[in-house]
Amino acid sequence: MEGNQKLKIAVLMGGLSGERKVSLKSGQAVLEALASLGHDTLACDVTEPSLAALRQADPDVAFVALHGAFGEDGQLQCMLESAGIPYTGSGPEASRLAMDKLASKRAFIRHAIPTADYFAIGPAQSMGSISSQAHRFGYPLVCKPAASGSSLGVSIVHKPHALAEAVARARRESDMVLVERYVRGRELTVGVLDGEALPIVELIVGREFFDYEAKYEDQNTRYVTPVSLLPTIYRKATEAALRAYRALGCRHMARVDMLYGYDGRLYVLEANTIPGLTSRSLLPMAAAQVGISFPALCDTIAQAAVRDAAQAARRRRLTA
């Protein structure tokens, strides 16, 4: 912790989404890592949309380790802003954009960031209309909730007869559904720490894609770093990740997922503003490749939040 101040840090974990179990693991890992550096840490299991306990604790910073709805979609961030509590991760608007895959897609396209072709399905759209759209779009395709994480509700649809079940599965997670062109290729992820790209990690899974089970349960999932990519492709993938991070307005940390298609093109899928922080998580794995331990990673994120809050307070005083 040399050169950094000791802080009172409330670690927010758990939450109200289907990713609660993963969030508790992330939060506990962060809590232990920060405590090992001498920070005064407090575990806050978020079970309702309230900051009453957090206000009473009066921390220097809240470390947000919540995944999914409420914790990652801008709602919690709005509440923290209103309460004047410094917090880690992206602000309300960036969080909202990143959680909403349709909004992210539009932002990527506006900023000329490569991404797969898609169409959107509304909550009231009939299966007849959806089937016609999918027929024109072509199979195979990927059907996913517009607002969900950890690959919950995601299906790869190879034939028309499987489409209705895939749409129903996605709609259980989100009213809006995103349908993407299925891209065959290599699954890559680029962690971003305080605006700097970390080494690329390649995901090799024994399943059809990197779904919830592959992420958190399947012991056959392999993570490869350093990756074997042509230098030009490696540079383009890193640049695409940083451009996605900036296009959404992210800060402190993110993980940008993409595919390197067998057609030789890169396709950015999404940015995760609060990536997993468990023993199987990708951001800590990438950080370790450049000598950043897990405690140091958590400390860097917390210190960045304190720094940005202090800078924002100075700006407000100057303009008052």
Distance of alpha carbon 154 from alpha carbon 125, whole angstroms: 19
Distance of alpha carbon 131 from alpha carbon 127, whole angstroms: 6
Strands (E), 147-207: 155-157, 177-181, 185-193, 196-204
185-193/253-261 β-pairing? antiparallel
Q: Residue type at 7?
A: L
180 is a catalytic site residue: no
267 is a catalytic site residue: no
257 is a catalytic site residue: yes
Q: Looking at the DSSP assignment, which residues form a beta bridge with residue 272? A: 255
Q: Which of 17, 90, 104, 150 is catalytic?
A: 150
272 is a catalytic site residue: yes
Q: Which of 216, 234, 260, 267 is catalytic?
A: 216
19 is a catalytic site residue: yes
3-state class of 157 per DSSP?
Answer: strand
220 is a catalytic site residue: no
Q: Are 167 and 121 in contact (CB under 8 A)?
A: yes
Query: Where on the phi/psi map is residue 2: left (φ > 0), alpha (ψ -120 to 50), or beta?
Result: beta
Q: Which of 148, 234, 276, 281 is catalytic?
A: 276
Q: Which of 257, 260, 281, 299 is catalytic?
A: 257
* DSSP state letters, 267-279: EEEEEESS---ST
Q: Are 266 and 237 in contact (CB under 8 A)?
A: yes
Distance of alpha carbon 87 from alpha carbon 206, whole angstroms: 37
Q: Return the DSSP state at 225.
A: S
Question: Is the bond leading into 231 cis (omega within 30 degrees of zero)?
Answer: no
Q: Which of 19, 100, 187, 299 is catalytic?
A: 19
8-14/155-157 β-pairing? unpaired
Which amino acids are annotated catalytic?
Answer: 19, 150, 216, 255, 257, 270, 272, 276
